[in-house]
Amino acid sequence: MVEMTRRRKSAVLAICSMSLLIVGLDNTIVNIALPSLRRDFDASPAGLQWSVDSYTIVLASLLMLAGSMGDRLGRRRVFQTGLTLFTLGSLLCSVAPGLGWLVGFRMLQAVGGSMLNPVAMSIITNTFIEPRERARAIGVWGAVIGISMGLGPVLGGVLVEWVNWRAIFWINIPIGLLALTLAQLFVPESRAARPRRLDPVGQILVIIVLAALTYGLIAAPEVGWTSATTLGLLGLAAAAVPLLARYESRHAEPLLDVGLFRVASFSGATATAVCVFGAFSGTLLLNTIYLQDVRGYSPLHAGLVTLPMAAVVIVGAPISGRMVGRFGPRPSLLIAGVGLTAGSLVMTVLDAGTSLATLLSAYVVFGVGFSFVNAPITNTAVSGMPIERAGVAAAVASTSRQVWASPSASRWSARLRPWAPPRPARRE
């Protein structure tokens, strides 16, 4: 009976990890297809940014609401609904006839994706009760985040080169359908003993903050940083932040539990996630354009060049997860800090003539740093929380991963205009 219980727990962890895999892939896999989208849809830079940002904004805005829905309506039910919407959105993205349609379908994907990460974490924390066992499970969970985001550019390059950009969405469909079927068989239904009430005002304020900030940063390079549009949007975001904090701190059952940030470990993990994923998202977008438009590589060649980064993430992320379970988060975070800083410093001097060896070295070092950061962030955010608050903590941690990704991508892409400089001869 004990062995059957372990197998069922392993199955639950695998199913939850599958959902995280496809959501993480979609955070990065689209970047490699941006030049192809630009050509096929004759898209502007702002339009291309929205094909990425529409996904991350909606995903970040709804994560905490989805966690509350899982507590209230049933975690497996919400999880399966998310898988259905995400898979359907992926199918629709693959047949989008224009950029506007693609942006809309990406938003549908994000609605489904928002129901996966926090709800899956709630399922995991309610399945793995013993603290050390839970730490290992969270370590695996954090490792999958790193693997999915590191694998995205490579897989995207292969699919764009050998098929077309539409194929990057096909990969989600069989994984989503398999996870949906297995969830029905292995994931037990569960609800919070006392689910929180809905907080519509808090949800609206969260959307205002994220949408105004991102849209302001996207619009600024087009209309000017001192224009009324830019200043108005950024001012709205700045005004909504203290209003959100004040309202939520006085609400009996807030969407955003401000009290979580009084826990030093949680605040540190959240701040780290914002910084790391902002840097990672900006790096991916910048390198996509650098490899294809500056060095003249094809999507496949660009994906293969980033393969060393993905490889070390795939190898290092599970090691980090095991280290967190055995030694705690500090050793992994130290390794991550050194790797990310060193890799970023090397990439600051890249130009069209940089040797391939230098480029690959930078990617490897940066990849090592990124591979070690996800497991300790997730573990630190949720391990010190009571079981009934773990889902909320996971939702906030997931939101923090998304919250600076869009503004970061927008800021970097503004430096790359025009998007189609004269292409040099293809380098091999």
pTM: 0.75
Residue type for position 64 = M
Place of tokens 């995400």: 86
Block residue for tokens 């090397």: 346
AA identity, residue 207: I
What is the Cα 219 distance to its own chain's centre? 23
**CATH topology for 2-188+253-414?**
Growth Hormone; Chain: A; (1.20.1250)
User: C-alpha dihedral over 174, 176, 180, 183, to 10 degrees?
Assistant: 110
Each residue's pLDDT, cut to its tens digit, for the chain (428 residues) gives 344 477 788 888 889 888 888 887 887 788 778 878 888 888 777 777 778 778 877 887 787 788 778 877 888 999 999 999 999 999 999 999 998 999 999 999 999 998 887 788 788 878 887 767 777 777 777 677 767 766 777 788 888 888 888 999 998 999 999 999 999 888 888 877 766 677 888 878 888 887 787 777 767 767 788 888 889 988 998 998 899 888 888 877 777 777 777 777 777 777 787 778 777 777 777 787 788 788 888 877 877 888 888 788 778 877 887 788 788 888 888 998 899 999 989 988 888 888 989 999 999 999 899 888 877 877 776 665 555 555 566 666 666 666 555 555 444 444 444 434 444 444 44
Q: What interhelical angle do 117-127 and 75-94 show, nearest 10?
A: 150
> 15-29: buried (b, 16+ CB within 10 Å) or exposed (e) per residue?
bbbbbbbbbbbbbbb
Whose tokens are 């401000």? That residue is 258
Give the domain ranges of the chain: 2-188+253-414
User: How many whole angstroms from its chain centre is CA 270?
Assistant: 14
Cis ω before 242 (30° cut-off from 0): no
Report the distance separating Cα 110 and Cα 126, nearest Å. Answer: 25
Greatest CA separation for the chain: 67
Cβ–Cβ < 8 Å for 205, 251: no
